[in-house]
Structure 1
């Protein structure tokens, strides 16, 4: 799994706190932007889907499926102060039991997605403060 962390005010929520998946769990705007930006690079994802921790988009290539998670590290209400907040994006393979047993992971696709995400952020003038593969 690859994790990218950065700070920005670009993806702050526009709907009120009670419309978020959980208080301080922002990420819809980031995941929507990322889906649209990746599409322009020829990387087709799903529309954003919500989880308790934030939002994600899915990427499928052949039999390989990846979750690209987008979330914030913010306190309730912090997204409405107009100040940069901490964000994270992770790229995680979604493997079936059969794929795990056969060792059918496709790490090169995860690397490709990570590079595309980093390029998109940097094109917006956002320099990640950390990038980690776990």
Structure 2
């Protein structure tokens, strides 16, 4: 799994706190922006899906499925003031039991997805930190 972290005011929530998936759990605007930006480079994802911790978009290539999670690292209401908040994006492969037992993974695809996300953020002038996690 790769994790991308950055601080920005670009993806602050449009709707008020009580409309978020959970207090302080932002990420729809980031996930939606990523879906729109990635498709321009040929990476077609799903629409954003809400989770308790934030939002995700899905990507499929062949029989490989990936989850791109987008969430804030903020306190409730922190997105209301227009100040930058900390964001986290992760890319992880979703594998079936059969794929796990067979040791099937697609690290090259995960690396390409991560690179595309990093490039898109940097093109917006956003400095990012990237950690490759296992």
TM-score bracket, shorter-length normalisation: over 0.9
Shift of 1:59: 0.2
- Secondary structure of 1:34's match? helix
TM-score by length of 1: 0.98
**Partner Cα distance (2:110, 2:121) in 1:** 17
TM-score by length of 2: 0.98
Residues 34-113 of structure 1 mapped to structure 2, 5 A cutoff: 34-113=34-113
Count of matched residue positions in the alignment of Structure 1 and Structure 2: 133
**Partner Cα distance (2:36, 2:69) in 1:** 15
Question: Quick check: 1:132 aligned with 2:127?
Answer: no
C-alpha RMSD of matched pairs (Å)? 0.4
> Aligned residue for 1:13?
13
**Partner Cα distance (1:35, 1:49) in 2:** 11
Following TM superposition, the consecutive aligned residue runs of length 4 or more in structure 1 with deviations greater than 2 angstroms are none
**Partner Cα distance (2:21, 2:67) in 1:** 17
Q: What stretches of structure 2 of length at least 5 have no aligned partner? A: none
**Partner Cα distance (2:132, 2:88) in 1:** 13
